[in-house]
Amino acid sequence: MTGRPFWKTCMPKLLVSLAAATAISSAAQAFEPESNDPIIIGTFNWSSAMINSEIAGIILQKLGYTVEYLPMDDSARYPGFEAGDATFALETWATTQKINLETSVATGKVLDLGETGMQAKEEWWYPIYMKEACPGLPNWEALKDPKCGEAFAAPETAPKGRYLSGPVDWGGGDVERVAALGLPFEVVNAGTDAGMFAELQAAYERKAPIMMWVYAPHWAPAKFEGEWVDFPDYEDACYTDPAWGGNPDATHDCGKPEGWIKKMGWAEGEKKWPCAYEVVRNFKMDNATIQPLIGAVDLDGKTVTEVAQGWVDANEAVWKPWAACAGL
Amino acid sequence: MALAETGRMGGMGWRVAPTQMALMAAVLALAASPVLAGMLPAALVDYPKQAVIGLAAFTGSWLTWLAREAAIGPLRIAEITRGLANVVEAPIALLNTLFAEGIQAGRGDQVRTVVPPLSWLAGIGLAALLAHMVGGRQAGPKLVALIVVGLLYIVLFGFWTDAMFTLTNVIISAVAAIALGIWIGTKAVTHPRIAAPVEGLMNVMQTVPVFSYLVPTLLFLGYGPSAALVATVIYALPPMVHATMLGLRGVPPEVVEFGRMAGASPRALFWKIRLPVALPQLAIGINQTIMACLNMVVIASMIGAGGLGFLVLTALRKLDIGGALQAGIAIVVLAVILDRLSLAAARLAASGTRIRSTGIPHGRLALGWFALASIAALLLPAFQSWPKELTLTTAPFWNGLVSWINIHWFEPLDAFRSFTLIHIMNPVKAYLLDLPWTLVIALVMLGGWMAGGARLGLTVGAMALFIAATGFWDPAVTSVYLVGLGTLLSLIIGLPFGYVVSRRQSWRDAASLVLDTLQTLPTLVYLLPAVMVFRNGDFSALVAIVSYAIAPAVRYSMHAFAGVPAERLELAAMVGASRWQTFKWVRLPAAFPTLLLGLNQTIMLAIAMLVITALVGTRDLGQQVFIALSRAKPGDGIIAGLCVAAIALIADMCLKAWARRAAARNGVEA
């Protein structure tokens, strides 16, 4: 497609990666993996999870471990980890999976391998062109104006605004938030992540009104220009104590909490591959690093493997200390 | 009560008046329901929360106990089931090695492929030879062309390896479902006492949403291809069983008698006479089973099957609708190829022709081609796996098209949506949700009694009570509203269309292709563009249900009317019957049994779609199942799933009984 014969485009890359591979594998030769059984990394169908999984996988492979990837469902992954069908998962989001992870860790068969360092940010979000219709934004108090509500209305919610919340099972307390803060909005739930962003893309293309739940790290805030609504900062008391916050009679008179994104693993595997577990425990990533990598995959159409390999090659100084147990 | 009296009168053979009276009572009660709801005590209007049985919680903890602790002797049950799963996985692993993975050696980042899997060049040639072999002289060339074009699509768009993963999973599950289905169906026909329970069980299997048994399946079988296999077979088995039963029942007794007189052994009687005569019905069963297997590809990929399904999901997650469509079409290609190949093979087996009759040494040709292509692939890697740089893509075009429709057509489409939603769907939903649960159960019982007698009335009433008692009443009513509207629309559009199309073979072929596409193209692929225009909510859900459930409506109607014996039509023409008379007295009666199965399948598929409707933000039972999955509550998932099945069974049992009665009245054999 580039117009050049593919072997010409391929060969230099191939040579470079071969050279890199031999250089590193000679260094890694000193380390002997504790077991040659395959380490199975569970992957999920969103890009940051796939990128992080492959980065971890490539590093483990460099140490000599055999690595396989297993596509899993976000919520249905736990029986697989408890039984050892999968060894590691690089992303477990507090915002949706906190209870499931805690329940699973309580069985003693699953390990919490610590936070990745990425933070899930979630809040009401609108495209920047909506600021004209509701000039007080991003301050949440602007939304109290019925005219602002009307600016975000759909035929079936008019004159109230339509707020597109996440799938019901994400929770999020938006119905309570609307009531507590007295916002002229009706909460509508999307069914899936894909359905949510399909609506955003459609609205954005038409410059149509939309107010919805957007989270990061995700490609959407990178692709679409917009802002998060500025609600009163979340504190635990806000969700439990009505007296807290601007509305003395209601909980949820604040924004949404931010949440950790954790790594998890099969407990018994630590005896089998102690060093690999060490590496995954040490694995760190932050929003600023992952965001452009997500963009490279979702917006520029690069493959996950290319992006992950590129990061590993360029950041040896970052990940080599994670693998201290292998003597790197 | 008046009901009991009319019932007794019905028993005396005075038929018209009691049904009419009952109907009038029902209509009156429905019309007066808002008033009625005001007069009834609250507990009879909304099912009291305190009276909900904690069946879901109990099922959940029992399942967890069974999977984690229960043991037979020293072996835990989960260990036994996982052992079985490993056995099942062996053939899948073998096929994966042959077709997709090859054999690797080395470790870490030094892993290299030692023996490559089957190259695409070899694969296409072998598939074409196979097609020629089973297609014979007549159908062969067309089939070969179809297969070569289809597989080239998969190669050129860069899906070969993923398609092979999907293919191995689908082949094994389809073979398992077809074999098991014919076996169960045959047993049910030869042992009439188990026929009704088997049919009931099949309806439950087809309608309990996959997500509700996903977690239990994973608990017992582990993440991986075998769990995906079992989930697929559970879903794909019912159409095969139904079709086998229908087919074997339709074998004229004279034919069997003739065989018996000719001294055929029971085994020969079955294989050489009953099965070949039943073939047309079996063929549609095989088709539906294969379609169902491919329909599960996306869900199977969530629990470790990988392949094309995972590509679809990843593409959708980044809203690359064109990319998802391309991967989805690869799934359709596999479906069409498998379906046409298996049909040709079934026809070949039934006709009893020997394969050699074409005079071409297929075996030697295959070996030769395999050797040649493999050597070529070793020399030039592009023959092994198509280079990424040369991969075709049409994704930008589709993404552009979706955007174009969104920008230019949004207003009229949105006006249509808003009108339907505000003036039709929402009022119907609100009305149904406001009906007192006691009234609904009474009406369900009345309906059952009118259709099939007191026993049926009590059975369906009990099932409706199950829904109320387990605490899923409101989501269930929402489901009924969506499925009801969806089924109705599918039938109104589908049945006449099928009748029209049935007239010509070429129309039927074209329609079959469209229907196969509708049934196997992952729903989300076209649902997501629908969401872009119609937003999240009930309207998109209705679009999803109709686009899926219309396929069996058209297909069975087409099949039914095409299967009307030509002699009967000629006879009708000879006696000078008008078109309408021919339709009413010849075509419709002959088509009736198959139409009935079509009605059953339309309802079943509409209900099966509840799982997908949850993905566009409805508040129905599908959503309950989905929430249970994401909160890891297998008990809630299973009970909500059973409520879905209960709705399906109520509809199916009443319809069947009613149809039997209507058929008896018109002197048609149902």
Across the range B228-251, mean pLDDT stands at: 90
Pick the more confident residue, B89 or B511.
B511
Q: Is the confidence at residue B280, as pLDDT, over 90?
A: no
Predicted local confidence at residue A3, as pLDDT: 39
Asked if B617 and A191 come within 8 Å (Cβ–Cβ), the reply is yes
Binned at pLDDT 50, 70 and 90, residue A17 comes out as very low
Query: Which residue(s) pair with A123 in the sheet?
Result: A214
Give the span between the Cα atoms of B647 and B102, in whole angstroms.
Answer: 47
Asked if B223 and A192 come within 8 Å (Cβ–Cβ), the reply is no
Domains A32-119+259-326 and A120-240 share a fold: yes
Calculated CA dihedral for residues B590, B591, B597, B601, nearest 10 degrees: 180
Binned at pLDDT 50, 70 and 90, residue B384 comes out as confident
Give the span between the Cα atoms of A63 and B488, in whole angstroms.
Answer: 61
Q: Of the ranges A39-43, A230-234, A254-258, B29-33, which one carries the lowest mean pLDDT score?
A: B29-33
Q: Is the confidence at residue B475, as pLDDT, over 50?
A: yes
State the DSSP H helix or E strand holding residue B114, giving kind and residue range, or none if neither.
Answer: strand B112-115
pLDDT exceeding 70 applies to what percent of chain A? 91
Q: Distance of CA B428 to CAs A67, B23, B433, Å? A: 54, 20, 9
Of A66, A154, A189, the CB nearest to B108: A66
Tokens of B175: 């073979």
Predicted local confidence at residue B639, as pLDDT: 92
Q: What is the Cα B348 distance to its own chain's centre? A: 26
Q: Tokens 């998890």 — which residue? A: A264
Angle, alpha carbons B435-B441-B446 (nearest 5°): 115
User: Residue B407 class from Cβ within 10 Å (0-12 exposed, 13-18 middle, 19+ buried)?
Assistant: middle
Query: Which residue(s) pair with A119 in the sheet?
Result: A260
Residues B18-27: contacts with CB within 8 Å, 24+ apart?
A: B19/B450, B22/B446, B22/B449, B22/B450, B23/B450, B25/B446, B26/B443, B26/B446, B26/B447
Residues 116-145 of chain A with CB under 8 A from chain B are: none
Predicted local confidence at residue B6, as pLDDT: 40
* Chain B nearest C-alpha distance from A196 (Å): 8
Q: What is the mean pLDDT of chain A?
A: 86
* Chain B nearest C-alpha distance from A71 (Å): 5
Number of domains in chain B: 1
Tokens of B575: 């006696």
Binned at pLDDT 50, 70 and 90, residue B316 comes out as confident
Predicted local confidence at residue B668, as pLDDT: 53
Give the span between the Cα atoms of B405 and B382, in whole angstroms.
Answer: 38
Give the domain extent around B515. Answer: 413-670
Asked if A36 and B107 come within 8 Å (Cβ–Cβ), the reply is yes
* Chain A nearest C-alpha distance from B134 (Å): 36
Q: What is the Cα B49 distance to its own chain's centre? A: 35
- Label residues B300-320 b or e (16+ Cβ within 10 Å = b): bbbbbbbbbbbbbbbbbbbbb
Dihedral of CA B17/B23/B27/B29: which sign? Answer: positive
Q: Is the confidence at residue A9, as pLDDT, over 50?
A: no
Pick the more confident residue, A6 or B658.
B658
Q: Is the confidence at residue B523, as pLDDT, over 80?
A: yes
* Chain B nearest C-alpha distance from A238 (Å): 24
Predicted local confidence at residue B379, as pLDDT: 86
Of A77, A104, A199, the CB nearest to B536: A199
| Three-state secondary-structure class, residue A256 | coil
Q: Distance of CA B617 to CAs A3, A169, B424, B540, B614, Å? A: 45, 11, 19, 9, 5
Chain B residues lying within 8 Å of A190, measured CB to CB: 536, 616-617
pLDDT exceeding 90 applies to what percent of chain B? 29
Q: What is the pLDDT of residues B62-118, one digit of tens each?
A: 888 887 777 777 778 888 888 888 888 888 888 888 888 888 777 777 777 778 888
| Three-state secondary-structure class, residue B632 | coil
Predicted local confidence at residue B354, as pLDDT: 56
Q: Is the confidence at residue A21, as pLDDT, over 60?
A: no
Q: What CATH superfamily classification does A32-119+259-326 receive?
A: Periplasmic binding protein-like II (3.40.190.10)
pLDDT exceeding 70 applies to what percent of chain B? 95
Beta-strand runs (E) in B3-87: 71-72, 75-76
Question: Domain limits of chain A?
Answer: 32-119+259-326, 120-240
Q: Is residue B545 part of a domain?
A: yes
Which candidate, A39, A51, A52, places its Cα nearest to that of A88?
A: A39
Of B109, B528, B615, the CB nearest to A21: B109
Binned at pLDDT 50, 70 and 90, residue B220 comes out as confident
Chain A residues lying within 8 Å of B407, measured CB to CB: 205-206
* Chain B nearest C-alpha distance from A77 (Å): 8
Binned at pLDDT 50, 70 and 90, residue B498 comes out as very high
| Three-state secondary-structure class, residue A211 | strand
Query: Which residue(s) pair with A260 in the sheet?
Result: A119
Across the range B28-54, mean pLDDT stands at: 81
Predicted local confidence at residue B452, as pLDDT: 87
Closest-approach residue (CA) in chain B for A219: B318
Please report the ipTM that was assigned to this predicted complex: 0.77
Pick the more confident residue, A7 or A106.
A106
Q: Tokens 């009345």 — which residue? A: B446
Q: What is the mean pLDDT of chain B?
A: 85
Q: Is residue B491 part of a domain?
A: yes
Q: What is the pLDDT of residues A133-164, one digit of tens each?
A: 998 889 999 999 999 999 999 888 888 999 99
Predicted local confidence at residue B53, as pLDDT: 84
Predicted local confidence at residue A178, as pLDDT: 93
With beta carbons less than 8 A apart as the criterion, state whether B598 and B557 touch. Answer: yes
pTM of the model: 0.83
Across the range B299-324, mean pLDDT stands at: 85
Q: Is the confidence at residue B214, as pLDDT, over 90?
A: no
Predicted local confidence at residue B15, as pLDDT: 47
**CATH code reported for the domain at A120-240:** 3.40.190.100
Asked if A198 and B532 come within 8 Å (Cβ–Cβ), the reply is yes
Chain A residues lying within 8 Å of B67, measured CB to CB: 79
Chosen for mutation from A2, A58, A62, A206 (greatest number of chain B CBs closer than 10 Å) is A206
Q: Of the ranges B273-282, B424-433, B565-574, which one carries the lowest mean pLDDT score?
A: B273-282
Q: Is the confidence at residue A108, as pLDDT, over 90?
A: yes
- Label residues A251-283 b or e (16+ Cβ within 10 Å = b): bbbbbbbbbbbbbbbbbebbebbebbbbbbbbb
Query: Which residue(s) pair with A110 in the sheet?
Result: A266
* Chain B nearest C-alpha distance from A44 (Å): 8
Calculated CA dihedral for residues B272, B274, B279, B282, nearest 10 degrees: -120
Give the span between the Cα atoms of B120 and B377, in whole angstroms.
Answer: 9
Q: Is residue B66 part of a domain?
A: no
Q: What is the CATH number of the domain that holds B650?
A: 1.10.3720.10
Give the span between the Cα atoms of B238 and B184, in whole angstroms.
Answer: 10
Q: Is the confidence at residue A231, as pLDDT, over 80?
A: yes
Which candidate, B194, B206, B221, B191, places its Cα nearest to that of B88?
A: B221
